[in-house]
Amino acid sequence: MSELRKAAVLLTSLPQEQAAQLLSKLDARQLEAVSIEIARLGQVGGEEQSTVINEFADIDPKSFSGGGGGLDVAKSLMEKALGSRAGNTFDHVRQQIEALPFSFLHQADPQNLLTFIIDEHPQTIALILSHLPPSYGAEIIAGLPSERQLAVIRRVATMGQTNPEMIQEVERGLEKRMSAVMSQQFEKAGGVPTVAEILNVTDRTTERALLENLAQEDPDLVEEIRRLMFVFEDIGKFADKDIQTILKSVDNSQWSMALKGASETLKQKILGNLSQRAADMLREEMDYLGPVKLSAVEQAQQQVVDIVRGMEDRGEITLETGEKAEQFVD
């Protein structure tokens, strides 16, 4: 990853007011260069963003707003940084971006593009991906069948110089085919998060029946839904007696890593259900770890969540929801 791309990723991760303050300190040449990179950036993956942030400073990546780049982002930052002087500079940036091959794809959804090019010759796909931001190209590659992935990557690696007329011909053809899609505004709706939200407020009997039936057709989808239905912080919703049961099934080493990224409320909930000696030992182990990678914390939290979900499925613990408490009869 180039230093210029790192700067663009970092700036688009900051709140716009802070990013604008930094941009205002650059000279004209630097400002234009980084603005062009921001405009070319497109969507930035979480792993790339986290890597850049951690390289620049040992701080919590959650304090950044994150998202991605694009011409609109570049324009907004430049207006905040330069005020009335932003117009001419932005016009120059826009001209440079629009002059780039396949620039019209920088604002397109990768899944829409994949639909149009998945059946193209690997050389054509390689040509297109070679002119797109790496994170964008990665999404396209991931959506290709495995045998075509290898063919495309091989051609990207060996492409070298390409006839400009050929590039223009492929670009014109693709732009014409995608023109209807590019001119429409789509609203994202549905998806796994929506299913998780619906099931979170559904009565437990219906929820279990739906997930059990769906698991027979698509167990991976059920796993994805359940991961969104119950997250690490939800452990704090269990009653103390269930927390104590959970504590017996999770190692201290897992807790010490997982709690590094937990809210203070959840930390106190866990520590408060331990003996004084055990709580002190856990605090010492957390302090001993020092700064840790966010990815390691999230991995430990997911391990704990998987254990808790298994215990709930077996009826060893019960998470009280907003539904009316179930009545018991003799």
CATH number assigned to the domain comprising residue 217: 1.20.5.2020
Residue 48 lies in a domain: yes
Whether residues 284 and 316 share a domain: the answer is yes
**Tens digit of pLDDT at every position of the chain (330 positions):** 566 677 777 667 767 676 667 666 666 666 666 666 666 665 666 666 666 666 655 444 444 444 555 545 555 655 555 555 555 554 554 444 444 566 667 666 777 788 888 888 888 888 888 877 777 778 888 888 888 888 889 888 887 777 777 777 887 787 777 776 555 544 555 677 888 878 777 776 777 788 888 888 888 888 888 777 777 888 988 999 999 999 999 998 899 999 988 889 999 999 999 999 999 999 999 999 888 888 888 889 888 988 988 888 788 988 765 444 444 444
Whether residues 94 and 113 share a domain: the answer is no
pLDDT at 246: 93
Whether residues 27 and 90 share a domain: the answer is yes
Residue 329 lies in a domain: no
Q: Which residues pair with 6 in a beta bridge?
A: none
Q: What angle do CA 48, 53, 57 make, to 5 degrees?
A: 155
> What are the CA-CA distances from residue 80 to residues 17, 75, 76, 84, 87 (Å)?
7, 9, 6, 9, 11
pLDDT at 35: 66
Here the CATH number for the domain that contains residue 129 is 1.10.220.30
Query: Are 126 and 155 in contact, with CB atoms under 8 Å apart?
Result: yes
Domain end residue (candidates: 71, 99, 127): 99
Domain end residue (candidates: 99, 132, 152): 99
- Report residue 282 as tokens: 């856990």
- Report residue 168 as tokens: 């223009």
Residue 86 lies in a domain: yes
Whether residues 178 and 198 share a domain: the answer is no
- Split into its structural domains, the chain has a count of 4
Residue 330 lies in a domain: no
Whether residues 73 and 124 share a domain: the answer is no
Whether residues 108 and 172 share a domain: the answer is yes
> What residues make up the domain containing 240?
234-322
Residue 123 lies in a domain: yes
Domain end residue (candidates: 165, 182, 199): 182
pTM over 0.85, yes/no: no
Greatest Cα-to-Cα distance within the chain, rounded to the nearest angstrom: 83
Whether residues 55 and 94 share a domain: the answer is yes
**200-208: long-range contacts at Cβ-Cβ below 8 A with a sequence spacing of 24 or more?**
200/229, 200/321, 201/321, 201/322, 203/323, 204/321, 204/323
Here the CATH number for the domain that contains residue 72 is 1.10.220
Query: Are 257 and 290 in contact, with CB atoms under 8 Å apart?
Result: no
CA separation for the pair 235, 122 (Å, rounded)? 48
Tell which residue, 104, 92, 106, 109, has the closest CA to residue 35: 92
Residue 281 CA from chain centroid, whole number:
34
The conformation of residue 83, written as its DSSP 8-state character, comes to: G
Residue 327 lies in a domain: no
Whether residues 240 and 309 share a domain: the answer is yes
Radius of gyration of the chain (CA): 25
Whether residues 81 and 121 share a domain: the answer is no
Residue 281 lies in a domain: yes
Residue 328 lies in a domain: no
pLDDT at 76: 61
Whether residues 264 and 205 share a domain: the answer is no
- Report residue 262 as tokens: 């937990």
